Structure 1
């Protein structure tokens, strides 16, 4: 295990401890704020898994988030579906993965990369948002869908109602921790190494026998599936969904979360989403119009002062302490 892996695991364990002790000091409202921020952190980690490992930015990633949310809403609002919560989650994951597979197949196997891929995915997000607005008979149009029931889990005769603040907080924390850990394991293994090789030189990676287009497609599908899961979880916790959850604004915000947290770290985007969401809550309570200005200034400062994201502060501090240690 490398030192970088040990640092990552240390930060991951620290984050878990903070999540465990937080309910002892927070009220119900604060738990819901962090819970929703964790869902957005999962969404950010899904984008980072693709962008951070391939170097290709998907600027319409909210399309998969919104699609997962709408699928979850439509299934759970239909009272005739048995095990609606579980079916909704699986349907949201499958729908987002299918959309990514269709789009990604034509783009990757068509040789579309870089800024052209970014532009096409941006257009995809705009189309999805417009479809959600126009197909009002199904999606509710501009008003969206409301009254989405919370998740309920029946296990070994025990019924857990995730409509409660503490139960939903614990459930989302567990889901985010498991998914981020699995993505990290996948990224540091052979799959991640091949993606790094493709990012560095796709022609050379193909010459070594790797099917670069297929690797990129599968990574894109996994990323979209997790975004769909995040969207499904969010609408269950919020109880509503609107076209904005698949639009350009959310796609821009998730890109900022990843950049602020540290692209390619998986854990950094979660931290970035938590910090920015929490800051937005506090600042907007004083002056809602002030938040966009502060967010823009924060992004500029991060780009110049911490180009590797706020998570790089940990490694920088370790380097400083090592330099100040007396020589033996």
Structure 2
């Protein structure tokens, strides 16, 4: 029997923090440890299952590949289909307890060992986007079918039974007074160690939910930027893959003339083990990329990494960054890799 979802009551008023002078950056130290190459893919999902093993999605082969820091392969598994260990739809990977890996595709989450052994599978809402590493339950946001309001449902799902443990419906950012230039409003969110939830919006605002209190704030490092040539070509290709046809020139012109969002596509917000919110931002994303770090809503500094960040994950003081390399071949095809960094925990730098 599937338990009926409980919609938690919403209360509390939205407030905003004081904004700093935009554009300035305070860099925090991060040491590059090693790099490995991974398959070319349209996916931006990456997960650290332990401090030396990372898993990525190979979208062209519809599989997951897990590699160690020394470049050796732990497992390469999956194929298109609906059976055990097969995948149907867009894949997202997330770390589980005990060195396991969760793969979200369509309306289910399957738990694997990094070698590819299937451990369990559970049904979840369609297009479920996990917001934090999981244990017996997983918390994520999803799309509400047929809803014209684009409110954001967030649910905790029992991975043993597929039942909802709890559910909450978040109002659209415009209901909090956030001016918007898009309909859907929220990016993929992050769940903090104390239950707080953070989301980006399609502009420069960030939204922090803590129990029934909600605060909107901005990244003080944000500076208005138009899409680069790489951004434009990436948008064109992802549109083609999503809809089967290339976007029209008028659509591409509109994209090229619209200021970039503050956050990168995909899982741009992650809480570290010290409860700090990391935000992968769209600043530069050419030779270098940047992460803004917040304690609650207070900006504490930024980490700069090389190349174009596509996705990332955190575990302890380890930062794994999925990057697109600058093209170094005559055909102009960019490479793809994962860079491992070590950063100083708060209070030590």
Q: Does TM, scored on the shorter chain, surpass 0.5? A: no
Q: Which has the higher contact order (CA 8 A, sep 6+)?
A: 1
If the length of structure 1 is used for normalisation, what is the TM-score? 0.23
If the length of structure 2 is used for normalisation, what is the TM-score? 0.22
Structure that is richer in helix per residue: 1
Structure that is richer in strand per residue: 2
